[in-house]
Amino acid sequence: MKIKQQLLELCTQCADKRVLGYKNEIELIKESIENNDKVSNEEDDSGNSKLLDDLEKNMNYLNDANKMREQLKLMRPNLVSDSVVLGSLVKTDSITFFIALSMGKVIVEGSEYYIISLASPLGQLLRNRKKDDEFQFNEKRYIIQEVL
């Protein structure tokens, strides 16, 4: 299960990067709000209103990213299930998926993997499927050859 560990590590790095990015953005917005408050003599608060909206959005994104990071911490790469669950490596006749978070295509040790979220449309199609199950996505048919 070395490959699952490597994919999980990539996901964790991505989640950490997202969290850091949102934290930095929040700090910049807070600084902008403070600077606007110091220099604003006008009654027009539309600038701060936009900044407050951006702050709220980024706080929500940060909250989601933290939840994603916590979910990744709960994943056990050694866990093997007969059906597709969070943390599964799903080998089909043409593509290999890792069920974790929405990250897209990555290449690890020369092999291509698609890291997808269980909540994504494709993740929902894969949920609880087993070896030899077939499914169709974007007019392409896939056969699950292995669930690790």
The phi and psi torsions of 91 (rounded to 5 degrees) equal -95, 120
Do 57 and 110 fall into the same domain?
no
Do 12 and 65 fall into the same domain?
yes
- Among 74, 106, 138, the domain-final residue is 74
Work out the average pLDDT over 75-101: 94
Do 8 and 45 fall into the same domain?
yes
Answer whether residue 137 is part of any domain. Answer: yes
Do 57 and 93 fall into the same domain?
no
- Among 24, 49, 74, the domain-final residue is 74
Contact yes or no for 148/8 (Cβ under 8 A): no
Give the pLDDT score at 130: 97
Residue showing tokens 């910049």: 28
Distance, in Å, from the CA atom of 87 to the CA atom of 123, rounded to the nearest integer, reads 11
Report the predicted TM-score, pTM, of the whole model to 2 decimal places. Answer: 0.85
- The confidence band for 57, taking pLDDT boundaries of 50, 70 and 90, is very high
Count: domains in the chain? 2
Give the pLDDT score at 80: 83
Condensed to tens digits (0 to 9), the pLDDT of residues 117-143 reads 999 999 999 999 999 999 999 999 999
Do 122 and 98 fall into the same domain?
yes
List, edge to edge, every strand of the sheet that includes 111-116: 104-108, 111-116, 96-99, 89-92, 140-147, 134-137
Q: Check pLDDT > 80 for residue 77.
A: yes
Distance, in Å, from the CA atom of 97 to the CA atom of 46, rounded to the nearest integer, reads 45
